Amino acid sequence: MGLEVLGIPHYADQYLIDTGRLRGVVDLVAANSNWGQTLPPRRGRGIAVHRSFLSYVAVVAHVAVGNDGQVTIPRLDMAIDCGTVVNSDRVRAQLEGAAIMSIGNALYGNITVKNGSVEQSNYTDYLVPRIDITPETHVYFAENTHLPGGVGEPGVPPTAPAICNAIYAATGKRIRALPVDPQLLKA
């Protein structure tokens, strides 16, 4: 007896990831994000995909990198296959929140220690994304009748890699550590 008891096809016992559903979210987000369209200098798109909690999420991040190295994210496109969607507004809100959390980790989530103490004590000196940097976010649903999956956490892991891939597309520079250091991205 395997995962088929849960309605998951028997081949999932071997692979654990349904590559068809994974490909489906990649195709869905690419089709809706202007993927492949030429961009101006120092602008880029990046893509990443993730599977967890029985859900599949693909993200396309659109970034602009200023000559000073500052990264802005004007738009995020996210596609999710979470099986049967019970409340689309709730799923959309969860993915938007996951994206903001991941943007914070990618661009601002730096904890520093000096003389054995953490220097950040509250939100006055620990940066988190605020409304002025929040990207225009579009969420797309893969419609099917699979069992419902998670929608809160699965949007976090692919967002930062999509941002880093977009930075590479915009600048030719790979990001090897987070948070992103604007000094490394100066023109």
Please tell me the distance from the alpha carbon of residue 133 to that of residue 66, in angstroms, as a whole number: 14
Other C-beta atoms closer than 10 Å to the C-beta of 66 total 13
pTM of the model: 0.88
Q: What is the pLDDT along the chain (187 residues), one digit of tens a residue?
A: 444 555 555 555 556 788 899 999 999 999 999 999 999 999 999 999 999 999 999 999 999 999 999 999 999 999 999 999 999 999 999 999 999 999 999 999 888 899 999 998 888 887 888 888 899 999 999 999 999 999 989 999 999 999 999 999 999 999 999 999 999 999 8
Please tell me the distance from the alpha carbon of residue 153 to that of residue 112, in angstroms, as a whole number: 26
Question: Which of these, 74, 9, 63, lies nearest to 41 by C-alpha position?
Answer: 63
The domain 3-170 is classified under which CATH number: 3.30.365.10, 3.30.930.10, 3.20.20.70, 3.40.50.11540?
3.30.365.10
